[in-house]
Structure formats: C-alpha cells, structure tokens
Amino acid sequence: MIFDIEMLKKFYASFGSRVERSKQSVGKSMTLAEKILYAHLFNQEDLKSFKRGIDYVNFRPDRVAMQDATAQMALLQFMNAGKDKSAVPATVHCDHLIQADMGAKTDMNTANESNKEVYDFLSSVSANFGIGFWKPGAGIIHQVVLENYAFPGGMMVGTDSHTPNAGGLGMVAIGVGGADAVDVMTGMEWELKMPKLIGVKLTGRLNGWASPKDVILKLAGILTVKGGTNAIIEYFGEGTASISATGKATICNMGAEVGATTSLFPYDNQMSAYLKATNREEIALMADAIESYLKPDPEVIENPEEYYDRVIEIDLSALEPHINGPFTPDAATPISEFAAKVKENGYPRKMEVGLIGSCTNSSYQDLSRAASIARQAYSDKLKVAAPLIINPGSEQIRYTADRDGLLASFENIGAVIMANACGPCIGQWKRHTDDNTRKNSIVTSFNRNFAKRADGNPNTHAFVASPELTMALTIAGDLCFNPLTDTLVNEAGEQIMLQEPKGTDFPPNGFAVEDNGYIAPGEKKTEIKINPESARLQVLKPFASWDGNDLLEMPLLIKAEGKCTTDHISMAGPWLRFRGHLENISDNMLMGAVNAFNGKTNAVLNQLNGGYEAVSSVAKQYKAKGISSIVVAEENYGEGSSREHAAMEPRFLNVKVILAKSFARIHETNLKKQGMLAVTFNNKSDYDKIRENDHISIVGLRSFAPNKNLTAILYHADGTQESFEVVHTYNEMQIEWFKAGSALNVTK
Ligand code: F3S
C-alpha cells in the first residue's frame, strides 16, 4: 500500500475531538479551513482564537511532497539535519526536468540520460530517508498526490506553488520553499500567518461546454492575480456537489494564480467516489463517518458574510466557457466575447498549437471530454488545423486512457502524446516552429501564461482554457471560433457543428496501470553518491556559526533600486539545471537587481580594484579575501516565489547582511533560516545615505535580543561617518539560528 493507513486511522479517530475542542476555545462555529488549521496546530495546548491576517501560527502538517527541481536543495539541506528519516510521510516526484520534443518514448530516453545524476541522487536520498520516490514518467506531482495521498481534512506542504491541487479532496495543501519542507520533515513547527478566508458560493450546475476550469478562470477575472494573497479560498454551496473531485482539484490548483495560500472544497460524495475509484475505500469510509467535521458548520452556510472575510457567488448554470490571457491568467473573457477581443487587440488570430495537460487539467475526466470532440472531428472528416500536444497527468491515467482508446482518439487527429510530465508548462518544450520572431498564439489547458513561460518566446501569446475548449480551437485553428455558435467546414464541404463534450469522471472499467513508477523507501541505508566533479549537484556544507563579534566595515556589494524579487536575486530559466549545486547557481546571484548608482543590472563597483563587475564575481573576490559584504535594498525585498536559493546564494558568497526598507515575509524567514542578518531601516530615508564606496558596520550583536534595535555605521570614503538605527524581527529561536549559522545547524 502506497499510503500509510495506520497513520490515517489515528488521524480520523481524533479529528472530530480536535475540531470540537477548537470550537470550544474559539467559541463559535467554524469554516472548513478553520477546522483543518486548528486541528493541525503544532501545540494542541495552545488553543485560542488566532487573528486572521495578523497572527503567526505554528502548524504540524501531515505530509510533504516535492518535485524534482525543488527537491534537490530541500534534500541537500535535509541531509545536513542529522535525522535518520523524514518525520512525516514525504514523496519526491520527477516531473519538471523532462523536455517535450518528439514524444513520450524518445523524450523519456533523453531525460533519463541527461538528468541521470539528478535522478540517481533523488532516488538514493529518498531510499535512505524513508521518502517515497516517483520515477520520471510516473506523472505530475499534483495528479499523483491526488490519486494516492491527498485525504479529506489533511494538511500538506509541497515544494511547488500548485500544491493546493489537493484541495479537490478537501485537504489544506500549501506551496512552500525547500527550507519549509525541511522543517516539516525534521519534525519542527511550521509557521504561517493565519490566512484570511474568501468564501466562494457555488449555485446551479455546470452544463454543456462549461467545465470546472471555467469556474476558476472566471474567479481569476474577479479576484485578479493578487486578490487571493494571504487568503484561503473555501468553496461552499449546493453547486459544489455536482463537480467531480478532479474538477474540484482543477479549481483549487489555479487558486495559485490569484495568489491564494490554498483553496479547498467540503467533503462530499464526489470525493468519496474518487477515493473508492483510486483504491482508497478505507479512507472514504473513515471520512464518511466524520463527514460533518469535513464541512463548514451549518451556521457558516446560512450566514457566510459573518464567517468569511469576503464572499463571492458564482452561478454554475449560467457560467460560460472562458479563455484567459494573453500574458496573465486573470485576463478573463467569456467565449461569446472573445472573438471581438482578439480583433480589438490585434492578437494573432491563427491558433498555432493546442496543448492539453499540466497538473491543472490532465485527469481522466479532462481527457475523456476532450477525446469526445477529437472523435467527432475524425468521424466527421474535419481537418485539424493546428498541431496538438497531450501530456497525461500520470502513468495510471495514460495507461487507462490508452486502454480505453482515448489516446487513439487524439492520435487519429494527429496528436503527439508526450511524457506524463510538466513539459511545456514549465518551459521544457522544444517547440517545432519555423519562425521564432513571428507573433503567434497558442491555447493550453495549463494554469500560467506569462510571457515566455511555455516556449521561451516573448512573441507567443498564450491563452488558457479548459481541455475541451482547447481541443475545439485546435481543430478550428482560429482564435475567433466559438464552438457554441459557429460551424466548421469538413473535407466534403459540409457545415459541421461540434457537439457538446461528453466524458466520464472515472473510467467505466476502472483505473489500471502496469508500472505506476513508484519506488518505496528501502529498509537498508545505501551510500548517497555525489560526484565532486558534478556541475549539477554539490554536497551542502553547513554554514559557519557566528563568531561572536559585530559585523565590521563590510564593503557595500550592491544598493539595489526598485523591485527586487526572488527572480532578480536568483533567476530561473536556464539556471534551473543548477538547483542542486549551490556554488554554480550562486553565479546568478542578484544578476537581475538594478544598481542604484548606475541603473544597470549585474554591474557593481568592486572596491578592491575600482572596476565594475558582475555581482557574484565581486562577492566571490571579497569572499576569497575573507571579506564579508552587505546588500542594501528597497521595499518588499524577496517578493515572488519561496525559493530558498535567493537566501542561500548570498549566504554562500559571504554576504552577511541584507538591509532593506522592508522584506517579503517568506523571504525574510528564509534569510533567517540560512543564518543571515535581515534588518530594515528604522527611518527609510536613511537608504539615501548609503554611498557606492561605503563600508558598513552593524553593531549591537553581542546583546542581540528580540525587539532591540541594532546600529548601522556608515564609513564614507571621504573619511566621514554616519550612523542610524536598524530594526530586526528576530525572536529568541531565530537569534539562535543566527548564532548557530542556520536553522539547520540548530536542528542538528
Ligand atoms: Fe508542472 Fe506546470 Fe503543474 S510546471 S507542477 S504542470 S504548473
């Protein structure tokens, strides 16, 4: 058995009483999100009412999931934690590093060869530390988690932003950075600001061409890409019951596009049926037995405005299929208005490629509905105008879809079946195109459509839609085609109207698979080999502890101006391949940050020789001479993703302090976890006092204590000095991290 049934028995046996105690101490009825969060408090003795959006709370998640691009650094850190095995069930999924090119078979061979050392590393670490390993080709992390691990009422963290997909089975599942995953795997508390709650009431029932994807495409238009920040989106209302568990997962998955912490649905028969169809009847029965605890309380449904911070209502019966884009997933347009929008904005009307797959839309239901349209196109002799690419979500889905003839339906109209992996969704797409400079349009069933994401081409206009709408537009090859109202002309010159998509939630003969690609952790320890010559993997040496002295006369490395996100600090794209090699990836450190003194990126003063060089190069030269340096920045430093490389790279290159006007919360925590000093200006205008060739001291560290400011002293090149107060937010534990050199050193 892949999941741990004994753990789940204990979980369900105590879940109801934990919720009851929480409700008593809070003194009111609860939403589903609150029930799950309170039932997962790290310290159950700490029961009290936490203020949403304000209080930081420690939780004890049940599981961890990691994908191969982020798992490398997470596991390298975990190896230094001094633990024998993961404290909670955890899995690694090899899905991001497989490039889509010629088709599944060829591409898998290429990936297995080119990523061999990374896969070998991930599998051996997993085997040694009690972590389940899903081989390349086994499927996309979130689909595999939904099929095997997600459970109603549970709490999970995953090192991928679409982890909330598991909300389709009523789980609070949150995307985090590797350092957070390590906290959970080492059994430490995991901290989160108590999220606000957005209630989305669904009424009516989806019909015709409308699909679960259209619910979130419409909601993205309402909330915009920032509207869900620091909030959990909880769906409720009678409309939820008619949506399949995989459809619910699609909706939760794309909650990441509005910035939501996570999304979730209440437990119902659809979830029960999905658990049973995926060999988890025992879990379904246990969840059935405590059903009322896996839903919001009746008072919440009656009076949602009192319990949610915001309530939005969507009538599924009236919902039109939507198509969102280009360049941002919140540009939502109902299909009836889309042709006009295309013409008005001059989007390239010709649709050049249709792509169906990704963790958002690659379930059996998705494929079967899209296949029904493909079958009609074939039998009605419609010429398919654009190339079609399919990435199944998992080997179980691929095998079953193959057995049931769904893949043949796609192949009959010329589709290429790629590996069960992310592929084009993460930019791992060797697109076959004659001209990269031409403006062009593609439609995908994915979740993100930022410029360059799928094919690296800024001229590509990517639109996201449901798999069925993607299929219809691929057949038409025309962005202005509306399958609800328009006809197509077939090879015989006849006008053909596409029929409404038809599919089944589950395969009529059940799911099947020969080799699901899972490798259970081994009983015996084996040697974890990392080639010292490797360009992609490097053993992580623990960072040195604090030497007990103030940080004196550090040269300024860069004074960054304006936005400085984690992408500016540690770029993605071609640097993805070095995610397991701290030294090599550190070459990208701060290369996107703008130098306040010359307006340039990656050109800073080297105070050793007076020249201008790349930020990482200057930092390396300082480090080689045993000199520490300091980075100065403006507001919300480190916003964006939770990638820990953005904190580890400066740490590795001997940057000791980040002095900013303010920090993004997750990044500030990441800096603290890596033993860095993250401080803010007490008076923001002091930023202006920093000169290009300054040396800066931070003093007061010998009496480093919570709520006690430190002092910065600027030594200007003209011999003058200035000093001012800087503020920190370190608590006792975080000061211990700083002194020990990192949180991991403390854990160890
Ligand atoms: Fe992979 Fe794209 Fe999902 S990168 S995990 S399929 S968002």
Cα angle for residues 80, 166, 373 (degrees, 5° grid)? 130
189-202: average pLDDT: 94
Cα of 160 vs centre of ligand 1, distance in Å, is 8
- Residues β-bridged to residue 63: 156
Q: Determine the pLDDT at residue 178.
A: 87
- Asked if 476 contacts 384 with a C-beta cutoff of 8 angstroms, the reply is no
Alpha-carbon distance 633 to 294, whole Å?
Answer: 45
In this predicted model, what pLDDT tens digit does every residue of 334-366 receive, in sequence order?
Answer: 999 999 999 999 999 999 999 999 999 999 999
For the domain spanning 551-747, the CATH number is 3.20.19.10
Question: Sorting pLDDT into bands at 50, 70 and 90, what band is 419?
Answer: very high
State how beta strands 322-324 and 332-334 pair. Answer: antiparallel
**CATH 3.30.499.10 occupies which residues in the chain?**
322-496
**CATH 3.20.19.10 occupies which residues in the chain?**
551-747
In this predicted model, what pLDDT tens digit does every residue of 660-676 receive, in sequence order?
Answer: 999 887 789 889 999 99
Alpha-carbon distance 262 to 60, whole Å?
Answer: 16
In this predicted model, what pLDDT tens digit does every residue of 702-747 receive, in sequence order?
Answer: 999 999 999 999 999 999 999 999 999 998 989 999 999 999 898 8
**Residues 6+ away with beta carbon under 8 Å from 6:** none
In this predicted model, what pLDDT tens digit does every residue of 64-88 receive, in sequence order?
Answer: 999 998 899 999 999 988 899 999 9
Query: What kind of fold does domain 322-496 have according to CATH?
Result: Aconitase; domain 3 (3.30.499)
In this predicted model, what pLDDT tens digit does every residue of 683-707 receive, in sequence order?
Answer: 999 999 999 999 999 999 999 999 9
Point out the catalytic residue in the list 369, 398, 579, 643.
Answer: 643
211-222: average pLDDT: 98
| Sheet with 196-203, edge to edge strand ranges | 262-264, 231-236, 196-203, 310-315
Point out the catalytic residue in the list 160, 330, 455, 478.
Answer: 160
643 is an active site residue? yes
Looking at ligand 1, which atom is closest to the CA of residue 160? 5
Interface TM-score (ipTM) > 0.90? yes
- For the cut 90, the answer to whether the pLDDT of residue 54 exceeds it is no
Find, among 334, 301, 302, the residue nearest to 318 by Cα: 334
Portion of the chain with pLDDT greater than 70, in percent: 99
Cα-Cα-Cα-Cα torsion 155, 579, 443, 375, nearest 10 degrees, comes to -70
How many CB atoms are closer than 10 A to CB 106?
12
Q: What is the DSSP letter of 24?
A: H
- For the cut 80, the answer to whether the pLDDT of residue 641 exceeds it is no
Cα of 426 vs centre of ligand 1, distance in Å, is 6
Alpha-carbon distance 206 to 123, whole Å?
Answer: 42
Q: Determine the pLDDT at residue 533.
A: 94
What is the average pLDDT score of the chain?
A: 95
Cβ of residue 140 lying under 6 Å from some atom of ligand 1: yes
Looking at ligand 1, which atom is closest to the CA of residue 426? 4
In which residue are the tokens 């949150």 written? 174
Residues in the chain: 748
- For the cut 70, the answer to whether the pLDDT of residue 625 exceeds it is yes
Alpha-carbon distance 96 to 118, whole Å?
Answer: 12
Alpha-carbon distance 742 to 748, whole Å?
Answer: 10
Point out the catalytic residue in the list 60, 63, 96, 142.
Answer: 96
Least confident segment among 184-193, 213-222, 318-327? 184-193
- For the cut 70, the answer to whether the pLDDT of residue 640 exceeds it is no
Residue 677 — φ and ψ, nearest 5°?
-100, 115
Q: Determine the pLDDT at residue 545.
A: 97
- Asked if 212 contacts 243 with a C-beta cutoff of 8 angstroms, the reply is yes
Q: What is the DSSP letter of 62?
A: S
In this predicted model, what pLDDT tens digit does every residue of 568-623 receive, in sequence order?
Answer: 899 876 788 899 999 999 999 999 999 999 999 999 999 999 999 999 999 999 99
**pTM confidence score:** 0.90
In which residue are the tokens 């300054």 written? 694
268 is an active site residue? no
Cα of 359 vs centre of ligand 1, distance in Å, is 5
Q: What is the DSSP letter of 580?
A: B
Cα radius of gyration (the chain): 26
Residue nearest ligand 1's atom 3 by CA: 359
